[in-house]
Amino acid sequence: MMIGDTKTIAFEIMNAALKAADPYMAVKNSFGFDGEWLIVKEEKFRVSGKIYLLAFGKAACAMAKAAYEVLGEKIAEGLIVTKYGYAANCVDDSKITVIEAGHPVPDENSMRGALAGVELAEKVGEEDLLLVLISGGGSALFTLPEDGISLDDKIQTNELLLKSGAKIYEINTVRKHISKVKGGKLAKLVKGTVVSLILSDVVGDPLEAIASGPTVSDPTTFEDAHRVLRLYGVWDKLPESVRKHIEKGLRGEAEETLKEDLPNVHNFIVGSGAIACEAAKRKAEELGFNAHILTTTLEGKAREVALAIGSLIQEIASRNRPFERPAVLIAGGEWTVTIEGEAGLGGPNQEFALSIARKIAGLNAVVLALDTDGTDGPTDASGGIVDGSTLENLKTAGIGVEEVLKKHDVYRALEKVGALLKTGPTGTNVNSLVIAVIP
């Protein structure tokens, strides 16, 4: 099989995975309304008052559109907060406000959206229902710092954590403890019923970590936040206001996150990376491959997990084990990049792709790595797609792979050899995904 054909197969499998993670269908298939009862996965919630809608995250518009088609004019008021450029084809109704805000770094609109969300939550009466639609990116897009912490201080803290190599759940542990809406604090504001439909972008789908768990009880503490900040060498670099707030929490002088499950709050996962991986496997099998999901909880530094999966591809390509060719390997999760000092342009999936190109050099194999939201790091690429000729192409172009990886300047290197993957905004966000095709 030619490399071009193998790349086409990789794209077909990728598209099947993205379709399965479509947030519109995830919501549409999960709930209904018969005029009196809201039905979610066979659970029923009586609606005797008004229905309010609150959606935030990178998939907010698609999720809200599905909910709006089911509920229609029954929605008394709504708010949608999503990433810049993601509001195309959003709900068009004067009762529903749409705000675009910053991600991965929060901005003034992120705070404006969160303030509006708090106001909406406080309007919900005892007989009313608040439908909350949560997707990845919600931590940055729905930001309201604790008193005494400025947005700039929150942004600086966020940037330090993103560059530190901390895992997403560790970053969220800190975010929750310097926020007025995360860690179940949003749910505490609501007198009526809360029903949250959640699209997971966190490894293992822990509810408390997705968008920093605004409607979920939180097992983490100020002590945990302090430990993360120390572990990744961030503590001494923090703005003074953030350090002071964490210290107040350690002394028991600041409000902890929600620790008990509230009887009026109900949370449901409607989409996840595992669902996307399962769809990819089915598609690969339809195409005649021996398909294997290696894991849906892959974590670690991008270049290191890439080398591990690359080693497995080498074994299959050269020794036809542990899986027989033609094979497709699928992995989902969240890999990271630790940046020290100045860095070039790129993202974790681009770094994964460039790193694995070293291991599959000369082999008849294609590897695709993408962030399922279509945005890998602060770039317009979703990731990278490499094959057995990529390393040689880089050398011919005069690009030193090790130097590029050291500087984290992978975007330009992949672009120069036609190995960037650009899907554009996908409308979903369920972690990152790797697809390896070994014909």
Is pLDDT above 80 for 1?
A: no
Amino acid 4: pLDDT: 64
273, 302, 322 - which closes a domain: 273
Express each pLDDT in 53-87 by its tens digit.
Answer: 999 998 899 999 999 999 988 999 999 999 998 89
232, 258, 273 - which closes a domain: 273
Confidence of residue 130 (pLDDT cuts 50, 70, 90): very high
pTM of the model: 0.79
Q: At what angle do helices 3-20 and 273-286 cross, to 10 degrees?
A: 140
Query: Looking at the structure, do residues 118 and 156 belong to the same domain, yes or no?
Result: yes
As a whole number of angstroms, the distance between CA 264 and CA 203 comes to 27
Helix locations, 47-205, DSSP H: 60-71, 108-123, 138-141, 151-164, 168-176
Confidence of residue 109 (pLDDT cuts 50, 70, 90): very high
> Which H/E stretch holds residue 367?
strand 366-371
Query: Looking at the structure, do residues 136 and 77 belong to the same domain, yes or no?
Result: yes
Express each pLDDT in 12-31 by its tens digit.
Answer: 999 999 998 899 989 998 89
Express each pLDDT in 278-316 by its tens digit.
Answer: 999 999 999 999 999 999 999 999 999 999 999 999 999
Query: Looking at the structure, do residues 46 and 110 belong to the same domain, yes or no?
Result: yes
Is the omega angle on the peptide bond into residue 378 within 30 degrees of 0, that is, cis? no
Query: Looking at the structure, do residues 268 and 278 belong to the same domain, yes or no?
Result: no
231: domain CATH number is 3.40.50.10180
> Which H/E stretch holds residue 356?
helix 348-359
Query: Looking at the structure, do residues 242 and 389 belong to the same domain, yes or no?
Result: no
Q: How confident is the model over 340-354, as a mean pLDDT?
A: 90
Confidence of residue 88 (pLDDT cuts 50, 70, 90): confident
As a whole number of angstroms, the distance between CA 19 and CA 372 comes to 10
Burial class (CB in 10 A: 0-12, 13-18, 19+), 408: buried
Query: Looking at the structure, do residues 265 and 302 belong to the same domain, yes or no?
Result: no
Backbone φ and ψ for 347, nearest 5 degrees, come out as -160, 170
Domain assignment of residue 154, given as a range: 23-273
Domain count, the chain: 2
Amino acid 274: pLDDT: 92
HSE at residue 97, side-chain half, CA atoms within 13 A, is 16
Is pLDDT above 90 for 384?
A: yes
365: domain CATH number is 3.40.1480.10
Amino acid 103: pLDDT: 87
